[in-house]
Structures are given as structure tokens and as C-alpha cells.
């Protein structure tokens, strides 16, 4: 098992190019199951989750090739039963459910796994499939769906903490091949959902309201192959922007969609981080003493939960008290105890973390619990004095393409160590 050894205290300087979005490419890969024709997807990041999804598609009978960021999938003949051991290990694998039901009118998919960041039930996915006409049962760890006929319906997908991103993706994909019109209310508006919708439209789907809380899908008899380029990863871009700030560096970020980052950029400005747009790129640098800022995570276009842990590192270095409230996942503060090992003063009160910032951070061995917590610990290690060893970085490899290499190109003293 790999770990990262970081010698902190070096300001990051240089340029970094943002990869394709993990949270967009996984549903897009699942959508290739909707047609027997070849689909070509470009700007595909080199991630373990992408490799996993490729194995899942192959296990269903699809022909899958990935080379130099270009993915080709031909799902001419597929089966409706997914590989139990593959699917259960990755949360994003649940998005094969909608395409299989749409294409084959039946599916057996194991209940998914993923990061341990709180309860993420799939009840809204199943509610939507049932509204379209699917008969659902759960046994032996599988979700089993039979749908001799899929009929368009009005479906409300609002949940306890807002819209469901993968649920919206699943129902949208299923509805593309249903009879009649499906209207999804309280649909997720995230850029990754928009990217999936654009891919489906390129395949011949009829979808309106893209990017709004109301999606209207008029079913068609079949979809065809298409080519598509994945949207840039807004979470990776935010992570590198915060990395520049916590190390007192100066980093030019290329390839990000700045319109997808407004909530994060606004909070960085409030914290005293200097940012300058240069064409389609963003120059980020520390503007002086950092200021404490309160943050509440919300569905898009609010502040993303996937940047909460990284922003907490920035607040740990800001003199004063800031309050970070997590409204999406109830167990997404597992990085707090590890940040405390580095010297951060953070207390948890219900859904909020009270950060008493300004204390110096010093290196120590830490353990990553999930993908974004891993990124936060790397940022803290970059800012801390001395050496930090971040263990279990396989989480990082799930969502950040070659993050250690990109950081080294910016001057970071970071080394990957194989512990096996």
C-alpha cells in the first residue's frame, strides 16, 4: 500500500493543468451502455475509479479500450447482471442501473460501496426507477429490477439534504429510452450532471432544462454512438488553488471552468487569497495574512462538500475562528482528528467544525479516511514544518490524476513510498 512522504514549507510555484472530472466521467462511461454503437470519450483522467468502471463495463460484455486519455466503448451485446465484487467496491458504480434497465428492461446490480463519509442511500434512485415502471427487489446484496415496459412519469428527486446527483443521472439515463415524457423535479444542477446530459443529447436523447432543477426527457426508441470531451474537474482546480494559498505560493491554473467555481472563489477572496484571471486561466497567490471565513456546504451552485476538507486546512492557518458547517454528509469530518495530529485546533459541534486558526502546523504520520480527506492531509503536509507521511493514499488515486507528480512540478517535496 502506497503512502506519500511530504517535506513541507515550500511555496508552490508554476503551472498546473486540470484533468477531466471524475464525477462526470463515471456516469458518462455508464451511459455508453445505452447503445450498441461505439462511443468515444476524451479527456478521461487516469484514475483507479475510471479503471474500475472500465472493468465493470467489460464484465457486462462491453469492449473497452483506454489510451492516452481517450476511451472507446462498444457495448454491442451486454448482460444485465453486474459483477458483485467489482460493483460493491465503488459508489459511482450504481449509475449502471439506469442504463441497464433502459436498454435491457432488467438489471441486477450489487449495492455499492465507496468512501466512508456517512449514509448515502439509493432510495431516491429506486423511487425514480419504480415511477418509470420498474419492479424492484433487494436480495443477497443485489438490487434487482424488472421493467417489461418503461413509461415516462413525473418524478420528484429532492431528498433530506437536497437533490441527488447520481440519482438524477440514473433516472435521466433510464428515461431516455422510456415511452413518453419524463419530468424530473428537484433535479441536481451540478456541472457533472450537465455534462452527462450533453453526452446523452449527442447520443440522440431529447432532454430540455439542462442545468435547471426541472429536467424534461422525451423518450426515443434508440440511441446511437457519440463523441464527447469530459468537463474539467472543478474539485481538482479548487484543491490546487487552496494548495497555492496554504503554501504562500503562486500557481497558474490552466483548463478549469471558472464559472463552475464561483462559490469556492468567493470564499477564497473573503479569506484574503489573491486571484487574477488571465484568459481562460487563473493565477492564485497568497495576498498577505489570511482571514477566517465561515462556510456551509450546499448543493451546486453552493459551496461543494468535496472542497470542505481542503478549505478547513486553509482556515486552520487563518488567525481567528471560523465555522465550517457540513450539510451534505453527516460523517465528513473524519479528517479533523488527523489534522489535529499536525497541530490544528478544531472542535466538532453537531454538523459544524469550529476552527481556531493561526497555530503553526508540524509534520506527523497521518491516515487518510476518504478521497477529499486525503487531499486535505496532503495540503496540510505541504504547509507544515517538517515531514508528514500520509498513509492509505489509494483514496487519492481514485479522484486525482497523478497529484504527486503535479505537485512535484510545482516544487513540492513529495515522494510516493510503497509500504508493501
Same structural domain, 121 and 239:
no
User: Residues 383-394: what's their mean pLDDT?
Assistant: 96
Q: What is the pLDDT of residue 420?
A: 62
CB contact at 8 A, 244 and 217: no
Same structural domain, 224 and 237:
no
Same structural domain, 219 and 350:
no
Asked if pLDDT for residue 119 goes beyond 50, the answer is: no
- CATH code for position 153: 3.65.10.10
Same structural domain, 295 and 268:
yes
Asked if pLDDT for residue 383 goes beyond 90, the answer is: yes
Q: Of the candidates 172, 203, 229, which is a domain's last residue?
A: 229
Asked if pLDDT for residue 120 goes beyond 90, the answer is: no
- Which grid coordinates belong to 22? 471524475
Same structural domain, 307 and 184:
no
In the three-class reduction of DSSP (H, G, I as helix; E, B as strand; rest coil), residue 81 is classed as strand
Question: Among residues 10, 1, 7, 13, which one has the least CA distance to residue 284?
Answer: 13
Same structural domain, 400 and 412:
yes
Place 113 in a pLDDT band, splitting at 50, 70 and 90: low
Same structural domain, 147 and 241:
no
Q: How many domains does the chain have?
A: 2
Q: Give residue-wise pLDDT tens across range 28-55.
A: 999 999 999 999 999 999 999 999 999 9
In angstroms, how far is the first alpha carbon of the chain from the final one? 6
Residues noted as catalytic: 115
Q: Give residue-wise pLDDT tens across range 68-91.
A: 999 999 999 999 988 878 887 787
Asked if pLDDT for residue 329 goes beyond 90, the answer is: no
Convert 78-110 to b/e letters by CB count within 10 Å (16 or more is b). bebbbebebbbebbbbbbbbbbbbbbbbbbbbb
In the three-class reduction of DSSP (H, G, I as helix; E, B as strand; rest coil), residue 378 is classed as helix
Q: Give residue-wise pLDDT tens across range 134-181.
A: 999 988 888 999 999 999 999 999 988 788 999 999 999 999 999 999
Alpha-carbon span 60 to 417, nearest angstrom: 35
In the three-class reduction of DSSP (H, G, I as helix; E, B as strand; rest coil), residue 185 is classed as strand
SS3 track for 314-345: HHHCCCEEEEEECCCCCCCCCCHHHHHHCCCE
Q: What is the pLDDT of residue 299?
A: 94
Same structural domain, 171 and 317:
no
Q: Give residue-wise pLDDT tens across range 245-281.
A: 999 999 999 999 999 999 999 999 999 999 999 998 9
Q: Of the candidates 188, 210, 229, which is a domain's last residue?
A: 229
Location of C-alpha cell 489534522: 339
Q: What is the pLDDT of residue 141?
A: 82
Q: Of the candidates 213, 229, 245, which is a domain's last residue?
A: 229
> Averaging pLDDT over each range in 111-120, 330-339, 410-419, which range is the top one?
410-419
- Which grid coordinates belong to 90? 465503488
Same structural domain, 330 and 389:
yes
Lowest mean pLDDT, pick from 19-23, 56-60, 284-288, 416-420: 416-420
- Which grid coordinates belong to 152? 415516462
Catalogue the E-assigned strands of 82-141: 106-110, 135-139
Catalogue the E-assigned strands of 153-270: 154-156, 158-159, 162-163, 181-185, 206-208, 214-218, 227-229, 250-254
Asked if pLDDT for residue 376 goes beyond 80, the answer is: yes
Domain that holds residue 39: 22-229
Place 102 in a pLDDT band, splitting at 50, 70 and 90: very high
Per-residue DSSP letter, 218: E
Per-residue DSSP letter, 121: -
CB contact at 8 A, 101 and 129: yes
- Which grid coordinates belong to 326? 457540513
Place 116 in a pLDDT band, splitting at 50, 70 and 90: very low
Percentage, residues of the chain above pLDDT 90:
86
Lowest mean pLDDT, pick from 39-43, 111-115, 319-323: 111-115
User: Residues 112-124: what's their mean pLDDT?
Assistant: 58
Asked if pLDDT for residue 114 goes beyond 90, the answer is: no
Q: What is the pLDDT of residue 117?
A: 34
Same structural domain, 110 and 184:
yes
Distances (CA, A) of 166 to 12, 120, 198, 268, 403: 35, 10, 16, 28, 25
For residue 321, what are the β-bridge partners? Answer: 356
**What mean pLDDT is reported for the chain?**
94
Question: Among residues 52, 119, 122, which one has the least CA distance to residue 89?
Answer: 52
Same structural domain, 138 and 177:
yes
- Which grid coordinates belong to 70? 481517450
> Averaging pLDDT over each range in 103-112, 118-127, 373-382, which range is the top one?
373-382
Alpha-carbon span 279 to 256, nearest angstrom: 11
Provide φ and ψ at 260, rounded to 5°.
Answer: -90, -5
Same structural domain, 323 and 336:
yes
More confident residue, 405 or 395: 405
Amino acid at each position: 500500500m502506497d503512502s506519500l512522504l511530504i517535506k513541507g514549507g515550500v511555496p508552490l510555484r508554476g503551472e498546473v493543468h486540470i484533468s477531466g472530472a471524475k464525477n462526470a466521467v463515471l456516469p458518462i462511461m455508464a451511459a455508453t451502455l445505452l447503445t450498441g454503437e461505439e462511443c468515444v470519450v476524451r479527456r478521461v483522467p487516469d484514475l483507479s475509479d475510471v479503471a474500475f468502471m472500465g472493468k465493470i463495463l467489460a464484465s457486462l460484455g462491453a469492449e473497452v479500450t483506454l489510451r492516452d486519455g481517450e476511451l472507446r466503448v462498444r457495448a454491442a451485446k451486454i448482460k444485465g447482471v453486474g459483477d458483485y465484487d467489482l460493483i460493491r467496491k465503488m459508489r459511482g458504480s450504481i449509475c449502471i442501473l439506469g442504463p441497464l434497465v433502459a436498454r435491457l428492461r432488467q438489471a441486477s446490480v450489487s449495492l455499492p460501496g465507496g468512501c466512508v463519509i456517512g449514509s448515502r442511500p439509493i432510495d431516491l434512485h429506486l423511487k425514480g426507477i419504480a415511477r418509470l415502471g420498474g419492479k424492484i427487489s433487494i436480495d443477497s446484496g443485489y438490487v434487482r429490477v424488472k421493467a417489461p415496459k418503461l413509461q415516462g412519469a413525473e418524478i420528484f428527486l429532492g431528498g433530506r439534504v437536497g437533490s441527488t446527483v447520481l440519482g438524477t443521472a440514473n433516472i435521466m439515463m433510464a428515461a431516455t429510452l422510456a415511452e413518453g415524457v419524463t419530468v424530473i423535479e428537484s433535479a441536481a444542477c451540478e456541472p457533472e450532471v450537465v455534462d452527462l446530459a450533453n453526452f446523452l443529447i449527442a447520443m440522440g436523447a431529447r432532454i430540455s432544462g439542462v442545468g435547471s432543477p426541472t429536467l424534461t426527457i422525451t423518450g426515443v426508441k434508440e440511441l446511437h454512438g457519440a463523441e464527447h470531451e469530459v468537463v474539467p474537474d472543478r474539485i481538482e482546480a479548487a484543491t490546487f488553488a487552496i494548495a497555492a494559498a496554504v503554501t504562500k505560493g503562486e500557481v497558474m491554473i490552466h483548463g478549469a471552468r471558472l464559472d463552475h467555481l464561483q462559490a469556492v472563489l468567493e470564499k477564497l477572496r473573503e479569506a484574503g487569497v489573491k486571484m487574477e484571471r488571465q484568459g481562460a486561466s487563473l493565477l492564485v497567490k497568497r495576498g498577505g495574512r489570511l482571514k477566517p471565513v465561515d462556510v456551509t456546504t450546499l448543493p451546486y451552485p453552493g459551496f461543494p462538500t468535496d472542497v470542505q476538507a481542503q478549505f478547513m486546512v486553509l482556515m486552520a492557518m487563518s488567525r481567528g475562528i471560523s465555522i465550517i458547517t457540513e450539510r451534505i454528509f453527516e460523517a465528513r469530518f473524519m479528517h479533523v482528528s488527523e489534522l489535529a495530529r499536525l497541530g490544528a485546533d478544531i472542535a466538532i459541534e453537531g454538523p459544524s467544525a469550529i476552527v481556531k486558526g493561526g497555530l503553526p502546523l508540524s509534520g506527523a504520520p497521518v491516515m487518510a479516511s476518504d478521497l477529499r480527506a486525503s487531499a486535505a492531509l496532503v495540503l496540510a503536509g505541504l504547509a507544515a514544518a517538517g515531514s508528514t507521511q500520509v498513509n492509505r493514499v489509494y483514496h487519492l488515486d481514485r479522484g486525482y490524476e497523478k497529484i504527486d507528480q503535479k505537485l512535484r512540478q510545482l516544487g513540492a517535496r513529495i515522494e510516493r513510498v510503497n509500504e508493501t
